[in-house]
Structure 1
Amino acid sequence: MELGIGMFGDLAIDKNTGKIQDTGEKLREILEEVKLADEVGLDVFGMGEHHRPDYAVSSPEILLAAAASVTKNIKLMSTVTVLSSSEPVNVYQNFSTIDQISGGRAEIGVGRGSFIESFPLFGYNLKDYDALFEEKLDLLLKINTQEKVSWKGTLRPPMVNQTVYPRAVNNGQLPIWIAVGGTPESILRAAKLGLPLILAIIGGMPAQFKPHMDFYKEQYLKHGHDPAKMQLGIHSHTFVSDNEAICDGYFENYAAQMDRIGSSRGWAPYTKHQFNGGRSKDGALFIGDPSAVTDKILHMHELFGITRFIAHMDVGAPDHKLMMKSIELFGTKVAPEIRKALQK
């Protein structure tokens, strides 16, 4: 099972003054954190796309290209690229460029987007939310497998014998993951196409998502795909510290960000009871000491048969030093124990 770190580039916000952290400072911190993740032997780094004042990264590709220059082995993927409001030709070109810079370490995670700011920003109509994703995914997959592309859709001008360069390192092809939040239609789409699936589990109890994983596996096989090539991942909020006071205190960061998001979605204020429930054995928060986080990830492997776990670590913008320590512990304490257990 591959183990990785995911981030959205949350900017720290002073609770007294409301002042938002300098974006350049945050980006430089992220690059230090990615470099450390690579040095401690983690497998994957994922970066999300957002177009809001409380996030630093609107273009994962640029951040990942910078990360390629300071890392040696770690895979670099978007978590996610909002494909519905992106141009597939440009998406492929950007990631194939990262692939060339990094020596074949680029991957694309695509999704429809849980935030909708990018649609009006780039001139797309939300009524086309589903159709845009289906059509653009179809084009991206064709570009990924064919150097010369002819394609026709309804929401974008056609392509006629056009070439897309540069090509990715591995015969022009990049790994493309479908990222979902639990919508059955999205899971079915990934299974029918035989694409790797990554499921965001950030609330409730992970066991509740087992029917989704079972549905994917069933449909993947039903549509004739090779079971040996099946890849399943989950992406969950994670923070590792060997100091319980730090783990407990992380509630302040976490709740502040949940409330910022929830204020526009009609959510009730996030409570300490929810936080503690998420940290419990059956909860969806992987927040605790290395042993507790290790046990929960191994349980996810047993429950779902996952091949990748991405620890989303920067919710609410924890202090950079605490982030560095969390990544260090994840790479030096959690990962070795998981790998050892799975070799048995």
Structure 2
Amino acid sequence: MLILLLEIGIAGLSVHAAQRNGSALKVTVQAGERSTSPTDIRFSPKVNKEYSFIVTVNNTSSKEINVAVFPSVGTATSGGITYVKSTKNLLNDKYALPKYTKITPIGDKLRNGALKLQAKQSKRLRVVINVTQDLQGELLGGINFAQTIGKRVNRRLINVVKVYQKVVVVRLRMRDLVKRKGLTYVNFKFTNAKSAALLSYDVLNNNPLIAYAESGSYQVLNPKGRVIAKGNLEKNKVVLTPVTRTQLNVPLLDGAKLIPGNYKFLVTSNGKHRVYKFTYTKKQLNNFVKKNGKPTHVTIKTGHAGMIIFGVAVLATLILVITGFYVRKKRT
């Protein structure tokens, strides 16, 4: 299977839902031999060698603020890349940047993982990166600076916390990858979002490289061979981060019929056809209905296998009773 690998700049590794206008938080990376950009860190490290970077965080407001500071892992979503402290979507924890990163404030210390900044105050931190594993491909992560800018309780008594997050993106290029693997499609399931039925699935990027998800036309066939979803997967649209699991989805067509059995997800790209098969049981469809209700634009039928079995059992019992009665009558 062909997957397109990216020679993508750091600017393209955007921080998903992170940077907001109006925040008092300013973060810059000090220029150095391996740091030519004030907003990111990217280089090719040697194994078991420490590399030090100075990052300045500045509170431009007239109020004291607390800033949580932590190294993160870059993980892909359908809408971009998000940088999180930890994730279950990483397929190989050797590629977790936090394992190789230490952050220390200069002349200060982190309290419960946070740095306190007085009004108009700036502080410097030392970021030390030391990759202790001989890895192929690349690592993608970040140094996160998170500021809570608002808390409130809504009518349902749920705490809503607004957080501004600034991320220094870190991209480490290791040894060249010797052998590249294809993408894997797993965990197909029907879901519901805003009363619309979707087919969700996970794409596993088995390579420690940034790549684009597959593009081309697609169709989803139900067990009777009827098309229940079709469309196009846009080219160079969804970025897959190194050795991670990414959940994607496609919408079902109006009038789509969901029944128990074997489904097919077909992708056609550059004249090549790929077929991914998955099975959906009666129990899974019943669970879908219990959890989401019945979407108005699709039909869900769990079949009548139970009624058929019951009918056969009743018929068999009736035949036995009649046969027994006939035998007894004949003997008498």
With normalisation by structure 1, the TM-score equals 0.21
If each structure's helix is expressed as a fraction of its own residues, which one has the higher value?
Answer: 1
Larger radius of gyration: 2
Q: Which has the higher strand share?
A: 2
Q: TM-score, normalised by structure 2?
A: 0.21
Q: Larger relative contact order (C-alpha < 8 A, sep ≥ 6)?
A: 1
